[in-house]
Amino acid sequence: MEESFYLQASLDSSTEQALPDRKSTSEVTGSPYFGKSIMPTTLEHLETTLRQKDGELSSYMARLVSLESIRDSLAEELVKMTNESEKLRIEVATLPGLKAELEALRRRHTSALELMGERDEELEELRADIADVKQMYREQVDMLVSQIEKLSSSLGSK
């Protein structure tokens, strides 16, 4: 807003220097100071120049309002980007800790997989051992049954 104040003051002072008193045609022509030395065409030229300067002033003021709006919008965007940048800095600061934690979890995962693999191998070995023991037990039972049958048949034949 200070910019608009300075621009307005600057424009006001330049307008005052170029045309110190804005008077209507009747005031100027009837003024004892000017008398008949100012011609109507000169007065019309001054009025045209005054209207032109007023138009320029209006244009400058509109441009100033537009630029102030753009400035405010950019200031808001700058604040948003600064906040986002700060959030990202905080996240970046936590990255080394997260990387270390991830690496520790990967090591634990690998160790757990190795242990599970070892347990699976042991389980397979135990199942194979149980199958072998069952087979030996069946063979022993079959052998004992055949020995009992032999003994029974040899005792039965006597």
37 pLDDT higher than 70: no
Give mean pLDDT, residues 52-74: 97
> How much is the pLDDT for 126?
97
Cα angle value 110/116/119 (rounded, 5°) = 145
Q: What length does the chain have?
A: 158
Residue 82 identity (one-letter amino acid) = T
Question: For the chain, what are the domain ranges?
Answer: 2-121
What is the pTM (predicted TM-score) of this model? 0.43
Of the chain, the percentage scoring pLDDT greater than 70 comes to 75
Chain centre distance of CA 133? 66
**Coil, strand or helix at 157:** coil
pLDDT at position 5, please? 65
pLDDT at 25: 47
Evaluate whether 15 touches 52 at the Cβ level (below 8 Å).
Answer: no
> CB 131: neighbour CB atoms within 10 A?
10
Interatomic CA distance for residues 85 and 7, integer angstroms: 35
**Cβ pair 57, 11 in contact under 8 A:** yes
Residue 27 in this model has a pLDDT that exceeds 70: no
Q: What per-residue confidence (pLDDT) applies to 40?
A: 80
Tens digits of per-residue pLDDT, 74-116? 999 999 999 999 999 999 999 999 999 999 999 999 999 999 9
At 54 the pLDDT is 95
Q: How sure is the predictor about 154, in pLDDT bands with cuts at 50, 70 and 90? A: confident
Region class of 156: left (phi > 0), else alpha (psi between -120 and 50), else beta: alpha
